């Protein structure tokens, strides 16, 4: 059909209605039956218009197809159908938006109610064949020609010489809002077919979508990187948990070990307390032994093991460790009793022989002397014969008094070797009333001090015995030294020595 627009433009117009009332159906000029059947696809899209150029003979036609395929059901309620109006022009209309709304108005006015029924978003055919109302196509054609003539200026139509090159035909989607000017024509020349719809994104929206896509890919990359980091941290956390469990087990073991060590320390402390009690007991016993040997009561002159060590071995082997606390109290009581016995024994001896000064026993001096004696007895070799040893003073030969604040040399020598000191190591010197230095060798240096009463010089021998020499002090501060031989062994009932001579002797021996 030829149409003349309001501006005297003559062009050929054809209208086709096709769809799926009950399978594919078509009304209109039959030479476009095959072309219209290409739209019979299950696309399920909103309304759109498809613009395409085709050559038929020597004429290039432009096709505008308004199609709906979303929620279209056939007459027998089968989904997946479509309904479409196709306009074929021998001119190209630049105003694609106007063509879209013209075809949509024809669809609303003539197709709906005659061929389909719309209920909400669903569309259903009410005829089983489009040809049953083929006369309605003429009414649609008149409406189309009227709208084209009234709404589209003639300068929007133009003849197109266009050859479709095989292999270059394609398709592109454009938003209806981007169809101004020659955008659709340029797209058709490039792709061959253009689909235009309000549901398609605009160019700006596509740019935003592309930007969003890039950002989303970047976020996905970061998310992947974060996931890898999380996996590494999770592995480290798991390793840390395992290490924590291991360290906790080690800490539990150390706690048990510390508890065992504390228990051992308590046991050792109790044993140390027991050894101290043994030492306190051994002190008076050793003193009693010295006194007994001094008076010849000791049954044996052989050098035994230190009494302290014998007591320690005996008590440690026979006393169980569980009674350590009660033993400490027991040994303390025994030590006090023995100390009282020793003091009483010394007091008796003092009355029996007042010419022999006895060294006073105190709790402060006995342990120290006891341990020094024991150390010397263990470190020095045993000497079997010191009976002939005496204390000599080198600068004094028995003539004249000794002077205060003057130094004298002390040494030990045997009888017959008065001027020759014996080579004895491990000697320990003491002087009550004088200062002794250079101690520990076989000779010592002595400086006398002013003192009321006798001056007593003591030399402790390596075998535990001691040689004592007493010097009397006169009223004119001159010290007279009576020379007497030491008594090798003195017994309590020794009657071979006259009483007067016992009073004058100033050197005697104590066995330790």
Nearest-10 crossing angle of helices 366-379, 203-294: 90
**Least confident stretch, 138-152, 241-255, 429-443, 485-499:** 485-499
DSSP calls for 48-111: EEEEEEEEETTEEEEEEEEEE-SSEE-TT--BS--EEEEEEESSEES-HHHHHHHHHHHIIIII
- Which of 173, 73, 191 lies closest to 128, judged by CA? 73
81-96 burial string, b = 16+ CB within 10 Å, else e? bbbbbbbbbbbbbbbb
Average pLDDT over residues 419-438: 78
For residues 407 and 446, is the Cβ–Cβ distance under 8 A?
Answer: yes
Tokens 């095989």, located at residue: 166
Q: Which residues contact 15 (CB under 8 A, 6 or more apart)?
A: 28, 85, 86, 87, 88, 137, 140, 141, 144
188: pLDDT strictly greater than 80: yes
- Summarised one tens digit per residue, pLDDT across range 342-390 is 777 766 665 554 444 444 444 444 444 444 444 444 444 444 466 677 8
Q: Is the pLDDT of residue 97 over 90?
A: yes
DSSP state of 512: -
pLDDT at 442 over 80: no
Would you say 512 and 372 are in contact if contact means Cβ atoms under 8 Å apart? no
- Least Cα distance to 68 among 51, 40, 87, 45 occurs for 45
Cα gap 473→164, rounded to integer Å: 154
Element (H, E) at 296: none
Instruction: Give the pLDDT score at 115.
Output: 95
Beta bridge partners of 14: 88
Residue-level pLDDT at 141? 94
Share of the chain above pLDDT 90, in %: 27
Position with higher pLDDT, 25 vs 3: 25
112 burial (CB, 10 Å; 0-12 / 13-18 / 19+) is middle
CATH fold label, 380-510: Immunoglobulin-like (2.60.40)
Per the confidence metrics, is the pTM higher than 0.75? no
> Are β-strands 443-448 and 455-460 bridged in parallel, bridged antiparallel, or unpaired?
unpaired
Mean pLDDT of the chain: 76
Cα–Cα distance, 187 to 173 (Å, whole number): 9
Domain parsing of the chain, residue ranges? 2-200, 283-352, 380-510
Q: What gap in Å lies between CA 26 and CA 134, rounded to an integer?
A: 10
């Amino acid at each position: 059909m030829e149409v003349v627009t309001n501006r005297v433009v003559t062009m050929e117009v054809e209208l086709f209605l096709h769809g799926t009332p009950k399978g594919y159906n078509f009304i209109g000029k039959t030479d476009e039956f095959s072309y219209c059947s290409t739209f019979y696809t299950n696309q399920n899209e909103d309304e759109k218009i498809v613009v395409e150029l085709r050559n038929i003979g020597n004429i290039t036609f432009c096709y505008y197809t308004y199609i709906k395929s979303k929620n279209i059901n056939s007459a027998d309620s089968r989904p997946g159908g479509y309904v479409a109006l196709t306009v074929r022009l021998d001119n190209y209309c630049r105003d694609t938006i106007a063509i879209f709304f013209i075809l949509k108005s024809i669809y609303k006015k003539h197709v709906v109610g005659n061929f389909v029924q719309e209920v909400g978003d669903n569309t259903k055919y009410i005829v089983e064949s489009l040809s049953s109302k083929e006369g309605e196509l003429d009414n649609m054609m008149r409406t189309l020609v009227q709208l084209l003539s009234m709404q589209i200026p003639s300068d929007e139509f133009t003849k197109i010489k266009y050859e479709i090159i095989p292999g270059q035909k394609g398709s592109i989607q454009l938003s209806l809002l981007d169809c101004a000017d020659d955008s659709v024509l340029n797209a058709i020349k490039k792709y061959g077919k253009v689909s235009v719809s309000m549901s398609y994104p605009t160019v700006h929206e596509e740019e935003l979508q592309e930007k969003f896509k890039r950002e989303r890919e970047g976020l996905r990359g970061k998310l992947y990187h974060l996931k890898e980091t999380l996996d590494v941290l999770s592995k480290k956390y798991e390793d840390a948990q395992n290490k924590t469990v291991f360290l906790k087990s080690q800490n539990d073991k150390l706690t048990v070990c510390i508890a065992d060590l504390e228990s051992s320390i308590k046991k050792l402390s109790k044993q140390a307390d027991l050894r101290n009690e043994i030492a306190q007991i051994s002190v008076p016993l050793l003193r009693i032994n010295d006194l007994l040997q001094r008076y010849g009561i000791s049954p044996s002159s052989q050098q035994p093991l230190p009494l302290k060590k014998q007591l320690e071995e005996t008590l440690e082997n026979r006393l169980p460790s569980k009674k350590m606390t009660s033993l400490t109290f027991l040994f303390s009581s025994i030590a006090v009793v023995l100390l009282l016995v020793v003091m009483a024994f010394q007091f008796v001896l003092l009355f029996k022989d007042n010419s022999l000064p006895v060294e006073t026993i105190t709790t402060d001096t006995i342990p120290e002397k006891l341990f020094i004696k024991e150390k010397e007895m263990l470190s020095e070799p045993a000497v079997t014969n010191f009976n002939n040893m005496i204390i000599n003073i080198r600068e004094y030969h028995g003539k004249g008094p000794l002077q205060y604040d003057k130094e004298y040399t002390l040494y030990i020598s045997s009888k017959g070797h008065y001027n020759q000191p014996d080579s004895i190591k491990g000697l320990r010197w003491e002087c009550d009333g004088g200062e002794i230095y250079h101690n520990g060798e076989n000779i010592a240096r002595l400086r006398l001090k002013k003192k009321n009463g006798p001056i007593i010089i003591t030399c402790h021998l390596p075998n535990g015995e001691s040689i004592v020499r007493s010097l009397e002090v006169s009223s004119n501060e001159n010290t007279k030294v009576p020379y007497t031989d030491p008594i090798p062994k003195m017994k309590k009932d020794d009657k071979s020595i006259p009483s007067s001579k016992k009073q004058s002797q100033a050197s005697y021996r104590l066995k330790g």
